[in-house]
Amino acid sequence: MSIKQLEDVSETYRKLLKQIEKIDKKYSASYQQPTIDAPKSLGLKKLTYNMPSEEEFSLYAQNYYTDDKKRETANVNNAAQKNLNEMSLKQQDLLTKAADGQTKIEQKKQEDITNAKFSASAKNLTDSSIAKGLIDKAEEGAAQKEAYINKLRDDALSQIDAQIAYLNELRQKKLQDIEEIYQTKMQEKITNLKEGAQKQLDQTTKYNNTVDAKEAGYQKSLAKQLTDLEKDEWRRVADILQLTEKLGSSGIEKQKEQEKYLSAKQILDQVSPHQALDILNGSNAFALHLGDMYDSLRAYYQNLIS
């Protein structure tokens, strides 16, 4: 027997058993709770979305702009520091030049005093008021020049200090502007993030509500199907009881066996007589369910073979 023939015999065997059970149920006077051959649930999966917290929104927005903010802040600080370094160099240069000028003044003063003393000595005027006057004049001239240089130095230092103060103030102003700009950007980013998150949450809720609605409709449909099957089953029981009252128990049994015979023959005729006979001989269940008709069926196919 080929694989195809074996599959045909196996399928015929299953069909025959199923049909016999169906007929037994049809003629049973007992109520049998119906069942629905369908999944208990649609099994649709719901979506999950967790709305971020305020802290998470803020942290995301902060991280989003961190690099840009750091870069702009560094640019401002670097530019300011460069200018401040230049001012510092100017201060050092000014102080150096002022010190050099003071040194030269002191040197010139000492030179003038030495010359005055030498001249007075040459004229035997060492202790005279003339010699003293010349020395006082040299010292007064040097003091005036030193005071002048110091004033120029102090005025220039004051201007540099003012420029340094302005540069620091300007840097703080620019840093404050950067902070305000990025605070505004962060708030806008947070607002956009919240809008996007709310949209995602609304879509998730809408989808989950659709899932709930579909599941509720499916459960309602199952309940209606079960109710209809239960009504049909009670109607079947009532019909059998009425038919039993009309035909009697033996009449019902005879009609059931006759229906089994005809159904079995219709199914078994789909295979060869040899295969049909093998099916009947292959299980005691057929002898049990078919009753007297079992022997009739076996005889029928035996005759076909002979």
Count the neighbouring beta carbons within 10 Å of the beta carbon of residue 42: 13
DSSP structural state of residue 44:
P
Digit-by-digit pLDDT tens for the chain (306 residues) are 556 656 766 788 888 888 888 888 898 899 999 999 999 999 999 999 999 999 999 999 999 999 999 999 999 999 999 999 999 899 898 888 888 888 888 888 788 777 767 776 666 655 557 667 777 777 788 788 888 888 888 888 889 999 999 999 999 999 999 999 999 999 999 999 999 999 999 999 999 999 999 999 999 999 999 999 999 999 999 999 999 999 998 899 889 888 988 998 999 888 888 888 888 887 787 787 777 788 888 888 888 887
| Of the residues 187, 214, 241, the one at which a domain ends | 214
Residue 279 lies in a domain: yes
Residue 238 lies in a domain: yes
Dmax over CA atoms of the chain, in Å, equals: 179
Q: Report yes or no on whether pTM surpasses 0.75.
A: no
141 and 113 Cβ atoms separated by less than 8 Å: no
Whether residue 72 sits in one domain with residue 186: yes
CA 300 – CA 292 distance, rounded (Å) = 13
| Of the residues 182, 214, 246, the one at which a domain ends | 214
Phi, psi of 287 (to 5 degrees): -65, -40
38 and 222 Cβ atoms separated by less than 8 Å: yes
> Amino acid identity of 33?
Q
Residue 40 lies in a domain: no
**What tokens does 289 get?**
């369910």
Whether residue 178 sits in one domain with residue 99: yes
Residue 36 lies in a domain: no
Residue 70 lies in a domain: yes
Give the chain's domain count: 2
Residue 163 lies in a domain: yes
Residue 48 lies in a domain: no
Whether residue 157 sits in one domain with residue 92: yes
Residue 37 lies in a domain: no
Which residues 6+ apart lie within 8 Å of 190 measured at CB?
57, 58, 61
What range does the domain containing 206 cover?
A: 54-214
**What tokens does 175 get?**
């840093």
Whether residue 188 sits in one domain with residue 243: no
Whether residue 87 sits in one domain with residue 144: yes
Whether residue 122 sits in one domain with residue 71: yes
DSSP notation for 104-171: HHHHHHHHHHHHHHHHHHHTT-TTSHHHHHHHHHHHHHHHHHHHHHHHHHHHHHHHHHHHHHHHHHHH
Whether residue 287 sits in one domain with residue 147: no
Beta strands in 42-102 (DSSP E): none
Whether residue 207 sits in one domain with residue 96: yes
| Of the residues 214, 231, 248, the one at which a domain ends | 214
Whether residue 244 sits in one domain with residue 171: no
pLDDT confidence of residue 6 = 63
Whether residue 287 sits in one domain with residue 193: no
pLDDT confidence of residue 124 = 62
Whether residue 249 sits in one domain with residue 117: no
pLDDT confidence of residue 176 = 96
Whether residue 23 sits in one domain with residue 8: yes
Q: How far apart are the first and last CA of the chain?
A: 20
